[in-house]
Chain A
Amino acid sequence: MKRLLFVALATFITVCPTHRAMAWGNTGHAVIAYYAEQLLDEDVKQKCHHYLHSTLAFQASWMDQYRSIEPFTECDKWHSTNIDANYKVVVGRHDTAAFQIERIRKEMADYNSMPDSLVKLNLRYLIHMIGDAHCPVHVRWSRKEHPEFHYSLLNKGKKYSYHGFWDSSLQRWRTKWTAERYVEEIGFLSKGKAKKITKGTAYDWTQETADVARTKCFPLIPAGTEVSTLPQDKRYKMHYIAEQQVQRAAYRLAAVLTEIFKE
């Protein structure tokens, strides 16, 4: 019976999405959106402003704030994407960020025939989910198939969430930075590199994020790491990973918006 209960619980945890996880936090999402806006041509930017009635950055965390509010509760499950036993992204599952990004990309090809309110909603989703798809802890590892990726850290001796640690990795130890400062620090890519990284689908990008999580994030910050005294070299590497993911997210968000609105 106990065994049965354990299996049932494990299955529930595997299927159940991470409800209150807020990838990158409000800071990371605002930085990605602000960064993406700097990459847009003026005509595309103006169209985004027209539909959003604001900048991209202002809407960056809308999806987190509205995930518990009807009629938007459905999107509560769209903040991450599942990974299978072979470390591959699960394709075609409706309750994942990658699926929803691709669905909206296709739907927005016909944005001219949509009500403005739907275009606005879709933009809010894209701005947020493309950010989420690049957060190393917003790929869902099954607890049953990948128990090695489920552990906690320590913060001043107290149990601390691994997920929370990476969600706030960009702004950790940089509390006063503005989005402008982050973008200045991260810098811009050459045209060639930008073209290369913006290829592919949300599934490809999520796979890349899963690989980063598996090969870089987990080895860098193993179970039980005391984060309050993280050595300087690890802090540097953590920021580098976070910045690289933010940069990828920003370029890809800008590319998706350009694909939608460029005449």
Chain B
Amino acid sequence: MKRVILFIAVVLVGTGVASAWSRVYDKAVLEVAYQSMDEKTQQLVVKYVGEDYTKPAGHLAWHRKNGRMLETAGWHTLHLDANLQPAAKDENDALVQTEKALQIIRNRKSYDNEEVAMAIRIVMNLVIDMHNLSNVKIEGIELSGTDFKVGTSKGTSGGRTAKITPYSWKSLWTSRYNTYHGAYSPQMYAEDIKIMFGNKREEFSRGSLNDWVHDIGLYTKQAYDVLEQNNRQFLHKTIQEHEEFHMSCLARASYRLAALLNETLK
């Protein structure tokens, strides 16, 4: 019976539209990104989005919640083909929308300030979102996307059977790790991101947006492989072992966002 309980099958369920990381992570990424920008870029970011440069965190979701910008609901997902190359079929794709917003920022003299500000907010939101691997859909991988749940367990001591609780893949990568760090603020996460991955800033931000998307595909696929190897279960031990990996996704998003805005706001 214990074995039966231990190997409960993964429950496949349909969920709604993908959304961002937990707000505290979004703000942490924006904090590290801001600190990693050139001084000139920092000034322009403040000029367009305001003194509180972490305020754009969850901006699109906030608008949708209030019945506006409903067309952005599908923008958070990053679509990749089997070779982990961009494979958007329409405009509902994080990469497509990021590139469109970057064009506005590059040609900002042709737009009014509010349009440029919105483009910056969109880039901030979508670069963060595409680094959350629950927002990545890879062609040919059955488990791709956010539409399934994983078994997790709290674990017990003394070799007793672990209880497995169904948990969504999306929630795992969006907010689960935050539950291990009560009272954590965005600034506290930012500090940890810098300590853990500050020395990888150059490595993470090297290359183009397409290179980064490929890298995101690689680590997303790596997580799926771990899931497959573990009977489609991400149990307590595996979750714990992936915490640093989760933080590395935040670090990649942070340093790449800074590099992207440094380049486009030049």
CB within 8 Å of B: which residues of A? 19-20, 25-31, 34, 49, 53-55, 57-58, 60-61, 65-69, 73, 76, 171, 177-182
Contacts and interface: CB of A to CB of B under 8 A. Distances in A.
Interface residues of B, number: 22
Q: Which 5 pairs, one residue from A and one from B, show the smallest C-beta to C-beta distance?
A: A27-B182, A68-B155, A26-B182, A178-B185, A179-B183
A69 B182 contact: no
Interface of B: 154-158, 162, 179-185, 187-188, 191-192, 195-196, 236-237, 240
A57 B184 contact: yes
Given A26-B180, A171-B183, A177-B183, A67 B188 contact: no
Given A19-B157, A53-B196, A69-B240, A179 B188 contact: yes
B236 A178 contact: no
9 contacts: A19-B157, A26-B180, A26-B181, A53-B195, A54-B192, A58-B181, A60-B181, A65-B236, A76-B157
Contacts of B196: 53-54
B162 A68 contact: yes
Nearest to A76: B157
Given A68-B154, A73-B157, A178-B188, 14 more contacts: A19-B156, A25-B182, A27-B182, A27-B183, A29-B182, A30-B184, A54-B196, A58-B188, A65-B180, A68-B236, A73-B158, A179-B184, A180-B187, A182-B183
A180 B24 CA distance: 14
B180 A69 contact: no
Nearest to A65: B240
B185 A68 contact: no
B236 A69 contact: yes
Contact of A180 (B155, B158, B180, B185): B185
Contact of A178 (B154, B183, B237): B183
B167 to A, nearest CB: 15
B188 to A, nearest CB: 6
A55 B181 contact: no
A58 B243 CA distance: 11
Which of A61, A68, A182 is packed against the most chain B CB atoms within 10 Å? A68
Contact of B240 (A66, A76, A180): A66
A69 B195 CA distance: 26
A61 B156 contact: no
